[in-house]
């Protein structure tokens, strides 16, 4: 199965126009404190320009869920990725589907998965988000048979083939790995997509 692609941390309408040209499935808007953080106003303008078949994912870290829902409504986001210590009750109050992000240090983290009954998938990441660091993919080998799996953390064109081989994720999620000097790099995005989809992009 060829995984879907999420490009996270887009910050401008120009980047959306660029991303619209490519065979991607999700873009991530970071509302958490980060060098990629954007305001709801920016995200709303960007969402209006986004191709209709690309889903806009709001990325939050421990934001009260009422506030998350307000931003979702204001920006017309399709779903959210909760990247902090949100529990299932909080996830259940979201008005759009939730991906719960988990930091994978060892196999213990997998024990919490059954408790998240109100999420539609899990983002398996190395740390607190946007770090550019990988984790041991073997720890989540086989997990995609039971859970909708979004693989994140330090992915790039150089390691994505190996990561897909081990994890067979439903979605691959990249941010730092398609940047140069902290800005999204179209050449790196194209190369990443080419590696995931296995075809040439002009
Ligand atoms: O991208 C960020 O700055 C960010 C900040 C806070 C929480 C999550 C964030 N992004 C998510 O982090 C992972 C991995 O990113 P990377 O490829 O290692 O840079 C991904 O899920 C992003 O959506």
Which whole number is the average pLDDT over 170-192?
97
And the tokens for 153?
A: 């953390």
CA of 131 to the centre of ligand 1 (A): 6
What average pLDDT does the chain have? 96
CATH C-level class of 4-197: alpha beta
Amino acid 11: pLDDT: 98
User: In the predicted model, is pLDDT for residue 199 greater than 70?
Assistant: no
Residues 6+ apart with CB under 8 A from 42: 11, 12
Q: Who's near 181: CB < 8 A, 6+ residues apart?
A: none
Closest CA to 177 of 197, 191, 194: 191
Name the H helices within 13-64.
13-19, 40-49
Confidence of residue 200 (pLDDT cuts 50, 70, 90): low
Confidence band, pLDDT 50/70/90 cuts, at residue 202: low
Tens digits of per-residue pLDDT, 15-73? 999 999 999 999 999 999 999 999 999 999 999 999 999 999 999 999 999 999 999 99
Ligand 1 center from residue 175 Cα (angstroms): 6
- Which numbered atom of ligand 1 lies nearest the CA of 154? 18
Ligand 1: residues with CB < 6 A are 8-9, 28, 30, 32, 34, 36, 59, 61, 83, 123, 125, 129-132, 152-155, 173-177
pTM, rounded to two decimals: 0.96
Average pLDDT for 154-158: 97
């Amino acid at each position: 199965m060829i995984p879907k692609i999420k490009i996270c941390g887009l910050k401008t309408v120009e980047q959306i126009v660029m991303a619209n040209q490519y065979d991607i499935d999700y873009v991530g808007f970071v509302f958490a404190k980060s060098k990629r953080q954007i305001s709801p106003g920016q995200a709303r303008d960007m969402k209006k320009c986004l191709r209709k078949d690309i889903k806009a994912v709001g990325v939050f870290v421990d934001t009260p869920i009422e506030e998350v829902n307000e931003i979702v409504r204001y920006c017309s986001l399709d779903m959210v990725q909760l990247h902090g210590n949100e529990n299932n009750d909080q996830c259940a109050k979201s008005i759009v589907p939730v991906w719960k992000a988990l930091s994978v240090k060892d196999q213990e983290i997998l024990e919490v998965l059954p408790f998240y009954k109100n999420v539609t998938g899990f983002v398996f990441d190395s740390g607190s988000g946007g770090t550019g660091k990988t984790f041991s993919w073997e720890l989540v080998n086989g997990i995609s048979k039971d859970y909708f799996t979004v693989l994140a953390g330090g992915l790039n064109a150089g390691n994505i083939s190996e990561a897909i081989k081990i994890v067979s994720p439903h979605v691959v999620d990249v941010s730092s790995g398609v940047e140069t000097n902290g800005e999204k790099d179209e050449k790196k995005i194209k190369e990443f997509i080419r590696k995931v989809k296995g075809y040439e992009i002009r």
